[in-house]
Structure 1
């Protein structure tokens, strides 16, 4: 690999060793609940024949993949000479549970655990403030609690939700994020679980391969909602990061939304420019899982259509099975564009 290439990894999944790791950060009421039954997080239930984690990512001392900071540094951060690793955790299912108070308490406890055991471990670790979607006012309170800490660089939550994320119910989250100068990121994992909507517009598929492939359609719906509900007009300094949802679908959405806007703009009079312009001005997308076709010329065309060098962020998705090594993907990029996607875009977005 070219060691001169600077890298910021924008999707690194650190994890708990066990639910009991959060006990010191919970009040007695919630502590007793976790002692008796664990966090009780709700997952999609789709069986993956290859598992979720890389087979070689289990820490030497045992435990879940991504649960040992030292091993993560040894296996990911140091070998690839990463300047920063943005931690995205694995708590997305907290937003589809039925108890809003427990969800908010769990997210807050996880954030404190992350601060103690990860951000204070190595300055290259950059944290994401987890918030639960069930009560946006509690989420905003959590953002204000930690938003000024230099170790946290974004707010993160689930891409699975009971209603589209652009709707005004969620606006307190965006107001708090903008107030604290933090982007908001969404990440898949809870689609079809708990009180979330079905994972596809057609309902519940049978196999994990269907569920995993259709995650991009959730991102399409959420992005369309954010634009049409006027989130980026209401919060003009807000940036949004779409993690692990793919990118090849973006030209189609931009074209279709722009086309419809020309005829139907009377429904969204608050929009002052074409929908695709809001995407270019406010949205970022991570590379993993990059859809690299057999004919790279096709992907090059897509990158040109979406102005990829200004809106893409490199991500490895470590330690998951579909990990994208920085020395194996997008080798065809020009040095300038590779530098922007692997480093400069993230450095600017996260103010590193």
Structure 2
């Protein structure tokens, strides 16, 4: 339920109208002048042709210059060799961007099917949301979705790659229309921000998102939120090393889940389902316990008495899924989370990924669980949530959506 694709250079080049070929997202090979990741902020600087410095492939779009980095695709490298450095496509594992090689790497890792988040658009398409040209931004979102459905998850994927699409977050009506457009071709999952106000967007406590939420509710489209999909990774200070933020990456998921539990949206949209990718699950029991205490004792003055009509734990059980790839503590406390609310992931090809040992890691952490429970965690829950075939495949792949 959480892998990643690194988009090949042709995604927007081949799909945008010709007048946008030179202004839409494109790849440029250039030196890396400087690159830091401190205090939760990624700050790369692109050099000019002829400048000294390591060469990388950069995505260029309006004022954005974003290099491919070793953190985008780290599988196959020793942990001690994974550093914050720019790379080219030739320096990454081909399974990062090529479907046949991805399926081969999935075979090595005992993975049948995978849902993949984007790289260049970032985890909820905020690259297009932050752009100035809204017309081009909308075309960029649609081009990505067409590539995701027709090529990445198309016939050559044989149903093993499951589509996850974007929406234009700057307009909830357009977002709803894009959800419906993709739902018509079998897509059952859409990216969203864990904390929209960090992107300068309204919170879920407003009515702004209602058209989008209604579309997801009516089409059975799961809202997928990845850590960092608010463009603000948790940290403690502007000078904290990246290791601090990496330790507390779950924090945004924690804040976001409380937002949703106290929003009243689940009572208004009863079929709505949300999931948190790469946030792990061990933190969930206490947050649910605390949310219940607040709802029981403080809901009157806390401003939720009239809109949160059921206990938070009940809302969680019906509407929320957490994803993990390495969380022995959470699995030891599975009863406090709920077997039906847990999904398995591998995070390929990122530095945290358990590839190619995901089966081994899973066996070591789930060895105490009954086989039918393991089956639900690693397969059954995802099949049910995403409406996959009984074999765990995406049915739309045969016709490319």
> Please, what TM-score do these two structures have when normalized by structure 1?
0.82
Rg (Cα) greater in structure: 2
Structure-2 residue corresponding to 1:51: 71
Per the TM alignment, residue 81 of structure 1 is displaced from its structure 2 partner at its CA by: 4.7
How do residues 254-265 of structure 1 correspond to structure 2 at under 5 angstroms? Answer: 254-265=288-299
Contact residue 158 and residue 186 of structure 1 kept, 8 A: yes
Cα contact 2:217–2:272 (8 A) shared by 1? yes
SS of 2:163 mapped into structure 1: strand
Q: 2:8 maps to what in 1?
A: 17
Give the deviation of 1:204 after TM superposition: 4.3
Instruction: Note the alpha carbon deviations across 1:1-59, whole angstroms, 9 max, x for none.
Output: xxxxxxxxx112122122x42122223454331267723696999xx9x73422428xx
In the alignment of these two chains, the number of paired residues is 323
Q: Which residue of 2 aligns with 1:326?
A: 359
1:51-83 deviations in Å (ceiling 9; x for gaps): 3422428xxx8365410111111111x234544
Indicate yes or no: 2:212 matched with 1:173. Answer: yes
Q: Which residue of 1 aligns with 2:315?
A: 278
Comparing 199-208 with 176-185, greater Cα deviation is found at 199-208
Where does residue 341 of structure 2 map in the other structure? 311
Once the two structures are superposed, residues 192-215 of structure 1 have per-residue CA deviations (whole angstroms, 9 ceiling, x without a partner) of x4xxxx533866452211222232
Q: Which among 68, 79, 102 is matched to residue 108 of structure 2?
A: 79
Q: 1:341 to 1:136 in 2, by over 3 A?
A: same
Cα distance, 1:248 vs structure 2: 1.1
Report if the CA contact (8 A) 2:282-2:331 is conserved.
Answer: no
The 1-side partners of 2:6 and 2:63 are apart by: 14
Question: Does the aligned pair in 1 maintain the 2:195–2:229 contact within 8 Å?
Answer: yes
**Cross-structure match for 1:157:** 192
Structure 1 Cα separation of the partners of residues 161 and 315 of structure 2:
30
Contact between 1:132 and 1:157, CA under 8 Å: does it hold in 2?
A: no
CA RMSD of aligned residues (A): 2.8
- Which residue number in structure 2 is paired with residue 7 of structure 1? none
Partner of 1:295: none
The answer to whether residue 90 in structure 2 is matched with residue 62 in structure 1 is yes
Question: What is the rounded CA distance, in whole Å, between the counterparts of 2:25 and 2:210 in structure 1?
Answer: 34
Q: TM-score by structure 2 length?
A: 0.72
Partners in 1 of 2:335 and 2:65 — Cα distance? Answer: 36
**Structure 2 unaligned spans of 5+:** 27-58, 78-88, 389-401
